[in-house]
């Protein structure tokens, strides 16, 4: 029988996962949703709570169901947010070993239950966990996507928007590399409305020192949120919904996700935040955003941090 509805399954129904579900459902991204969580009672509770919203949001949504890994067999998109959360004062890299073991077990169950769609991973440290999942599953790299620097890029655009008094969607700039402390905010080739942003920066007094200050605000924002309210979830939930929508609607949208590089930036074989064309196939094209010499050096440093963490993760699961 021909499949007539889109189905999205979430693994890990914590604050990030449920924020994603609520965002996706309110946007009418899919008709069916599945919830898998180690806390089965909590997953059922989320099913019951979320179904109460059907009458006030998109009427095309007809099903949300908590269950086991059998839910992935006919899913189009799988979103994984499972893992232990980041603690105050802890970097994402500190979580590598614990979450690598969790991710390996998830990957084995996903394969066993016949999933054939596109996977998006947001479990931290995200590019390392995506590497683990892709390694264990053996799935095509283009169909395994890290949420990468999608959230970081949103934070950069918001911060620039505040200082330039320009709406974020009119600014073209990206955060590249690790979703974490070694991320790289790009300014040298930024554009506003398609025009070189440097004149806008000069008018607003955003020199190199100010750019460094903006980048610090961007990469430290997660720590500020965690210190104030213990976790970040709305922003990443919205970012995951955006990526999912691009896949299900076959949009060919350019989003800064984590992709397994094939020579971009002189790097290969690691998941790394960079703009990509996203459609129903997953990552249709990896783009290499132009960077300055200083930005390239910072990206090389970021790649070394990722490579070291991937080595630690793979050692933990073998």
Catalytic residues, by residue number, are: 179
Which among 19, 10, 279, 57 has a CA at the least distance from the CA of 151? Answer: 19
SS3 at position 234: helix
How far is CA 71 from each of CA 9, 11, 76, 77, rounded to the nearest angstrom?
Answer: 7, 10, 11, 11
Q: What is the rounded CA–CA span in Å between residue 60 and residue 25?
A: 10
Q: What is the rounded CA–CA span in Å between residue 83 and residue 117?
A: 21
φ, ψ dihedrals at 83, nearest 5°: 140, 165
β partners of residue 254: 277
Q: What is the rounded CA–CA span in Å between residue 199 and residue 205?
A: 10
What does the radius of gyration of the chain's CA atoms come to, in whole angstroms?
19
Inter-residue contact 224 to 248 (CB < 8 Å): no
φ, ψ dihedrals at 107, nearest 5°: -60, -45
């Amino acid at each position: 029988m021909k499949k007539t509805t889109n189905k999205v399954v979430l693994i890990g129904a914590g604050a990030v996962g449920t924020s994603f579900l609520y965002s996706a459902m309110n946007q009418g991204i899919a008709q069916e949703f599945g919830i898998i969580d180690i806390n089965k009672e909590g997953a059922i509770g989320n099913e019951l709570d979320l179904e109460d919203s059907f009458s006030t949001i998109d009427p095309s949504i007809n099903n949300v169901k908590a269950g086991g890994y059998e839910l992935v067999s006919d899913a189009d998109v799988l979103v994984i947010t499972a893992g232990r959360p980041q603690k105050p004062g802890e970097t994402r890299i500190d979580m590598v070993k614990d979450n690598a073991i969790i991710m390996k077990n998830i990957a084995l169950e996903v394969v066993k239950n016949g999933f054939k769609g596109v996977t998006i991973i947001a479990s931290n440290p995200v590019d390392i966990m995506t590497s683990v999942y892709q390694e264990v599953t053996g799935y095509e790299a283009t169909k395994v996507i890290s949420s990468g620097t999608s959230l970081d890029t949103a934070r950069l655009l918001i911060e620039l928007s505040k200082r330039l008094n320009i709406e974020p969607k009119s600014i073209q700039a990206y955060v590249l590399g690790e979703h974490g402390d070694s991320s790289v905010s790009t300014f040298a080739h930024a554009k506003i409305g398609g025009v070189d942003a440097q004149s806008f920066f000069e008018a607003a007094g955003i020199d190199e020192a100010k750019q460094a200050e903006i980048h610090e605000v961007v990469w430290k924002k997660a720590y500020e949120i965690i210190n104030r309210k213990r976790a970040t979830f709305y922003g990443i939930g919205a970012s995951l919904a955006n990526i999912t929508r691009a896949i299900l609607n076959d949009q060919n949208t350019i989003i800064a996700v984590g992709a397994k590089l094939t020579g971009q930036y002189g790097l290969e074989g690691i998941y790394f935040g960079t703009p990509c064309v996203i459609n129903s196939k997953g990552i249709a094209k990896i783009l290499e955003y132009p960077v300055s010499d200083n930005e390239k050096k910072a990206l090389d440093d970021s790649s070394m941090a990722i490579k070291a963490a991937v080595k630690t993760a793979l050692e933990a699961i073998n």
